[in-house]
Amino acid sequence: MKMKISNSIEKYEITFDKITQLCGTNISTKSHIINSISKHFSSEKYKEYEEAYIDNIRLDNEIPGRKQFECNRVNCINDVINGIQYSKTSILGKCVKEVIGQFDCQNELAKIDEILLSIFQRVNNSFFADEMVELQYTQEDLFGMIQHASIRTNEDKDVHTLDNYELIKLYIDLIGKEQELLPEKRLYIFENIDHLLARGEYINVVQYCESLAEKTNVWFIFATSLDGYIYISENNIEGINVINDIIFTMPDLEHLKSFIRENYPIEKEWNNDLIKEHFVDIVQKIGRKDFMLDFSELVILKLINDSNLIRETWNSMPKMPEIQCLLDSDMI
Protein backbone atom coordinates (compact mmCIF):
# COMPACT_ATOMS: atom_id res chain seq x y z
CA MET A 1 0.00 0.00 0.00
CA LYS A 2 1.06 3.60 -0.52
CA MET A 3 1.94 5.77 2.47
CA LYS A 4 2.17 9.54 2.19
CA ILE A 5 3.97 11.53 4.87
CA SER A 6 3.92 15.31 4.95
CA ASN A 7 5.94 17.99 6.68
CA SER A 8 5.46 21.73 6.65
CA ILE A 9 7.06 22.06 3.19
CA GLU A 10 6.54 18.91 1.13
CA LYS A 11 5.04 15.43 0.96
CA TYR A 12 6.84 12.11 0.66
CA GLU A 13 5.41 8.89 -0.74
CA ILE A 14 6.71 5.40 0.01
CA THR A 15 5.45 1.86 -0.39
CA PHE A 16 4.49 0.42 2.98
CA ASP A 17 4.42 -3.37 3.16
CA LYS A 18 4.88 -6.15 5.71
CA ILE A 19 8.62 -5.92 4.96
CA THR A 20 9.57 -2.30 4.26
CA GLN A 21 13.16 -1.25 3.70
CA LEU A 22 14.09 2.45 3.84
CA CYS A 23 17.45 2.84 2.11
CA GLY A 24 19.48 5.86 1.05
CA THR A 25 21.54 8.59 2.68
CA ASN A 26 19.02 11.43 3.05
CA ILE A 27 18.99 11.02 6.81
CA SER A 28 16.79 14.04 7.62
CA THR A 29 13.96 12.92 5.32
CA LYS A 30 14.28 9.32 6.47
CA SER A 31 14.20 10.42 10.13
CA HIS A 32 11.08 12.50 9.53
CA ILE A 33 9.34 9.50 7.93
CA ILE A 34 10.30 7.19 10.79
CA ASN A 35 9.41 9.74 13.48
CA SER A 36 6.03 10.31 11.82
CA ILE A 37 5.21 6.60 11.65
CA SER A 38 6.36 5.76 15.19
CA LYS A 39 4.63 8.82 16.68
CA HIS A 40 1.34 8.21 14.86
CA PHE A 41 1.09 4.59 15.94
CA SER A 42 2.17 5.22 19.53
CA SER A 43 -0.08 5.75 22.53
CA GLU A 44 1.72 8.98 23.45
CA LYS A 45 0.07 12.36 23.28
CA TYR A 46 1.57 14.90 20.91
CA LYS A 47 3.67 17.55 22.62
CA GLU A 48 3.27 21.21 21.76
CA TYR A 49 6.33 21.20 19.51
CA GLU A 50 5.13 18.08 17.65
CA GLU A 51 2.19 19.67 15.84
CA ALA A 52 3.82 18.88 12.48
CA TYR A 53 3.30 15.15 13.19
CA ILE A 54 -0.43 15.35 13.90
CA ASP A 55 -2.35 13.40 11.23
CA ASN A 56 0.50 13.84 8.73
CA ILE A 57 0.24 10.23 7.49
CA ARG A 58 -2.05 8.79 4.83
CA LEU A 59 -2.38 5.09 3.98
CA ASP A 60 -4.00 4.71 0.58
CA ASN A 61 -5.24 8.32 0.98
CA GLU A 62 -6.87 7.68 4.37
CA ILE A 63 -5.63 8.73 7.81
CA PRO A 64 -5.02 5.43 9.64
CA GLY A 65 -6.20 4.96 13.19
CA ARG A 66 -3.49 5.48 15.79
CA LYS A 67 -4.28 2.04 17.25
CA GLN A 68 -4.02 0.26 13.90
CA PHE A 69 -0.57 -0.98 14.96
CA GLU A 70 1.16 -1.58 18.24
CA CYS A 71 4.41 0.15 17.30
CA ASN A 72 7.88 -0.65 18.69
CA ARG A 73 11.02 1.27 17.72
CA VAL A 74 14.58 -0.08 17.96
CA ASN A 75 17.43 2.34 17.27
CA CYS A 76 20.27 0.84 19.32
CA ILE A 77 21.29 -2.50 20.80
CA ASN A 78 20.12 -1.40 24.28
CA ASP A 79 16.56 -1.28 22.95
CA VAL A 80 16.98 -4.92 21.90
CA ILE A 81 18.35 -5.89 25.32
CA ASN A 82 15.50 -4.07 27.08
CA GLY A 83 13.02 -6.13 25.05
CA ILE A 84 14.76 -9.33 26.12
CA GLN A 85 15.06 -8.41 29.80
CA TYR A 86 12.17 -9.06 32.17
CA SER A 87 9.91 -6.05 32.86
CA LYS A 88 6.19 -5.31 32.82
CA THR A 89 6.34 -3.70 29.37
CA SER A 90 9.03 -5.79 27.64
CA ILE A 91 8.20 -8.51 25.12
CA LEU A 92 9.49 -11.13 27.54
CA GLY A 93 7.53 -9.70 30.47
CA LYS A 94 4.23 -9.76 28.58
CA CYS A 95 4.86 -13.29 27.32
CA VAL A 96 5.78 -14.71 30.75
CA LYS A 97 2.74 -13.08 32.34
CA GLU A 98 0.49 -14.70 29.74
CA VAL A 99 2.16 -18.11 30.17
CA ILE A 100 1.83 -18.00 33.99
CA GLY A 101 -1.84 -17.06 33.58
CA GLN A 102 -2.38 -20.25 31.56
CA PHE A 103 -0.82 -22.51 34.21
CA ASP A 104 -2.94 -24.27 36.80
CA CYS A 105 -0.55 -23.46 39.64
CA GLN A 106 -2.83 -22.26 42.42
CA ASN A 107 -1.74 -25.05 44.78
CA GLU A 108 1.95 -24.26 44.25
CA LEU A 109 1.37 -20.55 44.73
CA ALA A 110 -0.64 -21.20 47.90
CA LYS A 111 2.26 -23.25 49.35
CA ILE A 112 4.83 -20.56 48.52
CA ASP A 113 2.47 -17.96 49.92
CA GLU A 114 2.16 -19.88 53.20
CA ILE A 115 5.96 -20.28 53.52
CA LEU A 116 6.58 -16.59 52.90
CA LEU A 117 3.91 -15.57 55.41
CA SER A 118 5.59 -17.81 57.97
CA ILE A 119 9.00 -16.25 57.31
CA PHE A 120 7.62 -12.72 57.61
CA GLN A 121 5.84 -13.64 60.86
CA ARG A 122 9.05 -15.01 62.37
CA VAL A 123 10.97 -11.88 61.39
CA ASN A 124 8.27 -9.66 62.89
CA ASN A 125 8.19 -11.67 66.13
CA SER A 126 11.97 -11.51 66.43
CA PHE A 127 12.70 -7.96 65.34
CA PHE A 128 9.50 -5.91 65.64
CA ALA A 129 7.95 -7.52 68.73
CA ASP A 130 7.95 -4.27 70.75
CA GLU A 131 7.48 -1.87 67.83
CA MET A 132 4.47 -0.18 66.24
CA VAL A 133 5.50 -1.34 62.76
CA GLU A 134 5.99 -4.69 61.05
CA LEU A 135 6.96 -6.16 57.72
CA GLN A 136 3.94 -7.01 55.63
CA TYR A 137 3.56 -9.34 52.68
CA THR A 138 0.82 -9.76 50.07
CA GLN A 139 0.46 -12.28 47.27
CA GLU A 140 1.11 -9.51 44.75
CA ASP A 141 4.66 -9.40 46.12
CA LEU A 142 5.09 -12.96 44.88
CA PHE A 143 4.57 -11.84 41.28
CA GLY A 144 6.96 -8.97 41.96
CA MET A 145 9.62 -11.55 42.78
CA ILE A 146 9.11 -13.16 39.37
CA GLN A 147 9.60 -9.78 37.69
CA HIS A 148 13.02 -9.50 39.31
CA ALA A 149 14.17 -12.78 37.75
CA SER A 150 17.42 -12.40 35.81
CA ILE A 151 17.69 -13.55 32.20
CA ARG A 152 20.79 -15.57 31.41
CA THR A 153 21.95 -17.85 28.61
CA ASN A 154 21.81 -21.65 28.81
CA GLU A 155 25.51 -21.48 29.66
CA ASP A 156 24.74 -19.19 32.63
CA LYS A 157 26.14 -16.07 30.95
CA ASP A 158 24.69 -12.59 31.08
CA VAL A 159 22.78 -11.71 27.89
CA HIS A 160 25.09 -8.71 27.47
CA THR A 161 27.82 -11.20 26.48
CA LEU A 162 25.88 -12.19 23.35
CA ASP A 163 26.90 -10.46 20.13
CA ASN A 164 24.54 -8.15 18.27
CA TYR A 165 23.42 -10.81 15.80
CA GLU A 166 22.58 -13.28 18.57
CA LEU A 167 20.67 -10.60 20.51
CA ILE A 168 18.64 -9.47 17.50
CA LYS A 169 17.82 -13.06 16.53
CA LEU A 170 16.67 -13.74 20.11
CA TYR A 171 14.61 -10.54 20.06
CA ILE A 172 12.86 -11.60 16.84
CA ASP A 173 12.29 -15.10 18.27
CA LEU A 174 10.47 -13.43 21.18
CA ILE A 175 8.41 -11.36 18.72
CA GLY A 176 7.29 -14.63 17.14
CA LYS A 177 6.37 -16.12 20.54
CA GLU A 178 4.49 -12.94 21.45
CA GLN A 179 2.47 -13.22 18.23
CA GLU A 180 1.55 -16.80 19.15
CA LEU A 181 0.52 -15.95 22.72
CA LEU A 182 -0.89 -12.45 22.23
CA PRO A 183 -1.71 -12.01 18.53
CA GLU A 184 -2.00 -8.36 17.59
CA LYS A 185 -1.19 -6.22 14.56
CA ARG A 186 2.31 -5.05 15.45
CA LEU A 187 4.91 -2.90 13.72
CA TYR A 188 8.63 -3.07 14.53
CA ILE A 189 10.95 -0.33 13.27
CA PHE A 190 14.69 -1.10 13.20
CA GLU A 191 16.76 2.06 12.69
CA ASN A 192 20.44 1.98 11.70
CA ILE A 193 20.43 -1.80 11.89
CA ASP A 194 23.26 -1.80 9.32
CA HIS A 195 25.48 -0.32 12.06
CA LEU A 196 24.80 -3.33 14.28
CA LEU A 197 25.15 -6.27 11.88
CA ALA A 198 27.46 -7.56 9.21
CA ARG A 199 26.02 -7.53 5.70
CA GLY A 200 25.25 -11.26 5.61
CA GLU A 201 23.72 -11.10 9.10
CA TYR A 202 21.40 -8.30 7.99
CA ILE A 203 20.17 -10.35 5.04
CA ASN A 204 19.56 -13.35 7.31
CA VAL A 205 17.61 -11.20 9.80
CA VAL A 206 15.32 -9.66 7.16
CA GLN A 207 14.76 -13.05 5.55
CA TYR A 208 13.84 -14.47 8.96
CA CYS A 209 11.43 -11.59 9.57
CA GLU A 210 9.90 -12.11 6.13
CA SER A 211 9.01 -15.70 7.04
CA LEU A 212 7.57 -14.52 10.38
CA ALA A 213 5.51 -11.81 8.67
CA GLU A 214 4.04 -14.39 6.29
CA LYS A 215 2.73 -16.43 9.23
CA THR A 216 1.62 -13.68 11.63
CA ASN A 217 0.26 -10.14 11.59
CA VAL A 218 3.59 -8.48 12.33
CA TRP A 219 5.13 -5.81 10.09
CA PHE A 220 8.73 -4.63 9.89
CA ILE A 221 10.55 -1.48 8.78
CA PHE A 222 14.34 -1.63 8.34
CA ALA A 223 16.30 1.60 7.82
CA THR A 224 19.79 1.34 6.30
CA SER A 225 22.26 3.57 4.46
CA LEU A 226 25.41 1.42 3.98
CA ASP A 227 26.20 -0.17 0.63
CA GLY A 228 25.13 -3.78 0.28
CA TYR A 229 22.61 -3.70 3.13
CA ILE A 230 19.54 -4.71 1.20
CA TYR A 231 17.50 -7.89 1.04
CA ILE A 232 15.78 -8.50 -2.29
CA SER A 233 13.19 -11.18 -2.90
CA GLU A 234 10.34 -11.34 -5.37
CA ASN A 235 7.90 -11.04 -2.46
CA ASN A 236 9.32 -7.86 -0.92
CA ILE A 237 11.06 -5.93 -3.70
CA GLU A 238 8.22 -3.41 -3.95
CA GLY A 239 8.69 -2.59 -0.26
CA ILE A 240 12.18 -1.17 -0.97
CA ASN A 241 12.25 2.64 -0.87
CA VAL A 242 15.45 4.58 -1.60
CA ILE A 243 15.47 8.00 0.06
CA ASN A 244 18.10 10.30 -1.44
CA ASP A 245 17.68 13.52 -3.44
CA ILE A 246 14.46 11.91 -4.64
CA ILE A 247 12.46 8.99 -3.24
CA PHE A 248 12.58 5.98 -5.51
CA THR A 249 10.28 3.02 -4.87
CA MET A 250 11.28 -0.24 -6.48
CA PRO A 251 8.82 -1.69 -9.01
CA ASP A 252 8.12 -5.41 -9.25
CA LEU A 253 10.95 -7.57 -10.58
CA GLU A 254 9.39 -8.21 -13.99
CA HIS A 255 8.87 -4.49 -14.60
CA LEU A 256 12.45 -3.80 -13.55
CA LYS A 257 13.82 -6.52 -15.81
CA SER A 258 11.79 -5.19 -18.74
CA PHE A 259 13.10 -1.62 -18.18
CA ILE A 260 16.74 -2.80 -18.13
CA ARG A 261 16.33 -4.98 -21.23
CA GLU A 262 14.74 -2.13 -23.19
CA ASN A 263 17.27 0.53 -22.21
CA TYR A 264 20.61 -1.20 -21.59
CA PRO A 265 23.01 -0.01 -24.34
CA ILE A 266 24.09 -3.51 -25.46
CA GLU A 267 22.43 -6.88 -25.81
CA LYS A 268 22.78 -8.83 -22.59
CA GLU A 269 20.93 -11.72 -21.02
CA TRP A 270 19.19 -10.50 -17.86
CA ASN A 271 17.65 -12.90 -15.38
CA ASN A 272 16.25 -12.31 -11.90
CA ASP A 273 19.38 -13.45 -10.07
CA LEU A 274 21.66 -11.16 -12.09
CA ILE A 275 19.38 -8.17 -11.51
CA LYS A 276 19.30 -8.84 -7.76
CA GLU A 277 23.09 -9.18 -7.71
CA HIS A 278 23.59 -5.80 -9.38
CA PHE A 279 20.96 -3.98 -7.33
CA VAL A 280 22.48 -5.09 -4.02
CA ASP A 281 25.52 -2.94 -4.88
CA ILE A 282 23.75 0.08 -6.39
CA VAL A 283 20.46 0.46 -4.51
CA GLN A 284 21.77 2.90 -1.87
CA LYS A 285 22.94 5.24 -4.67
CA ILE A 286 19.67 5.41 -6.63
CA GLY A 287 18.28 8.95 -6.75
CA ARG A 288 21.57 10.55 -5.66
CA LYS A 289 22.91 13.40 -7.80
CA ASP A 290 26.53 12.71 -6.82
CA PHE A 291 26.57 8.96 -7.35
CA MET A 292 29.01 9.01 -10.31
CA LEU A 293 32.72 8.90 -9.52
CA ASP A 294 34.97 10.63 -12.03
CA PHE A 295 37.30 8.22 -13.83
CA SER A 296 40.38 9.77 -12.20
CA GLU A 297 38.71 9.43 -8.79
CA LEU A 298 38.21 5.72 -9.43
CA VAL A 299 41.88 5.38 -10.37
CA ILE A 300 43.04 7.21 -7.23
CA LEU A 301 40.72 5.10 -5.08
CA LYS A 302 42.10 1.91 -6.64
CA LEU A 303 45.72 3.06 -6.11
CA ILE A 304 45.09 3.74 -2.42
CA ASN A 305 43.30 0.42 -1.95
CA ASP A 306 46.05 -1.44 -3.81
CA SER A 307 48.64 0.10 -1.49
CA ASN A 308 46.64 -1.33 1.42
CA LEU A 309 46.50 -4.77 -0.21
CA ILE A 310 42.82 -4.40 -1.14
CA ARG A 311 43.11 -5.40 -4.77
CA GLU A 312 40.02 -5.34 -6.96
CA THR A 313 39.42 -4.98 -10.67
CA TRP A 314 36.44 -4.72 -12.95
CA ASN A 315 35.01 -8.13 -13.75
CA SER A 316 35.13 -7.38 -17.46
CA MET A 317 36.12 -4.62 -19.88
CA PRO A 318 33.12 -2.35 -20.52
CA LYS A 319 31.91 -2.13 -24.12
CA MET A 320 31.98 1.21 -25.92
CA PRO A 321 28.16 1.68 -25.77
CA GLU A 322 28.34 1.16 -21.99
CA ILE A 323 31.07 3.81 -21.72
CA GLN A 324 29.08 6.14 -23.96
CA CYS A 325 26.06 5.64 -21.68
CA LEU A 326 28.11 6.81 -18.70
CA LEU A 327 29.27 9.90 -20.62
CA ASP A 328 25.79 10.78 -21.96
CA SER A 329 23.77 13.04 -19.66
CA ASP A 330 20.45 12.21 -21.34
CA MET A 331 20.20 8.51 -22.16
CA ILE A 332 16.48 8.22 -21.37
Element (H, E) at 288: none
Q: Tell me the pLDDT tens digit for each residue of 120-160.
A: 888 888 877 777 777 777 766 666 666 667 777 777 788 88
Q: What is the DSSP string of 113-157?
A: HHHHHHHHHHHHHHHSTTSS------HHHHHHHHHTPPPB-TTS-
Mean pLDDT over the full length of the chain:
87
- On whether the 2-85+160-248 domain is CATH 3.40.50.620, my answer is no
DSSP state of 45: P
- Across the beta sheet with 57-59, the strand order is 11-15, 2-6, 57-59
Q: What is the pLDDT of residue 9?
A: 84
φ, ψ at 165 (rounded to 5°): -65, -45
Q: Please give the distance of CA 153 from its chain centroid, rounded to a whole number.
A: 24
Element (H, E) at 302: helix 295-307
Q: Tell me the pLDDT tens digit for each residue of 272-312.
A: 998 898 889 889 988 988 777 676 767 666 777 777 788 88
DSSP state of 289: T
Q: What is the pLDDT of residue 38?
A: 94
34: CB partners within 8 A, 6+ apart: 22, 73, 189, 191, 221, 223
**Where do you find CATH 3.40.50.11940 in the chain?**
2-85+160-248
β-pair type (57-59, 19-23):
unpaired
Closest of 24, 62, 25, 55 to residue 39, by C-alpha: 55
Q: Tell me the pLDDT tens digit for each residue of 170-179.
A: 999 999 999 9
For 298-325, letters b (16+ CB in 10 Å) and e give eeeeeeeeeeeeeeeeeeeeeeeeeeeb
Q: What is the pLDDT of residue 331?
A: 67
Residue with the bigger pLDDT between 191 and 301: it is: 191
Cα dihedral angle (316, 319, 325, 331), rounded to 10 degrees? Answer: -120
Q: What is the pLDDT of residue 114?
A: 84
Q: What is the pLDDT of residue 120?
A: 82
Q: Tell me the pLDDT tens digit for each residue of 195-222.
A: 999 999 999 999 999 999 999 999 999 9
Q: What is the pLDDT of residue 142?
A: 63
Rg (CA), the chain: 27
Q: Tell me the pLDDT tens digit for each residue of 26-83.
A: 999 999 999 999 999 988 888 888 888 899 999 999 999 999 999 999 999 999 998 8
In this predicted structure, the answer to whether residue 231 has a pLDDT above a threshold of 90 is yes
Q: What is the pLDDT of residue 156?
A: 77
Q: What is the pLDDT of residue 143?
A: 64
Q: What is the pLDDT of residue 144?
A: 65
The rounded percent of the chain whose pLDDT value lies above 70 is 92
β-pair type (186-190, 70-74):
parallel
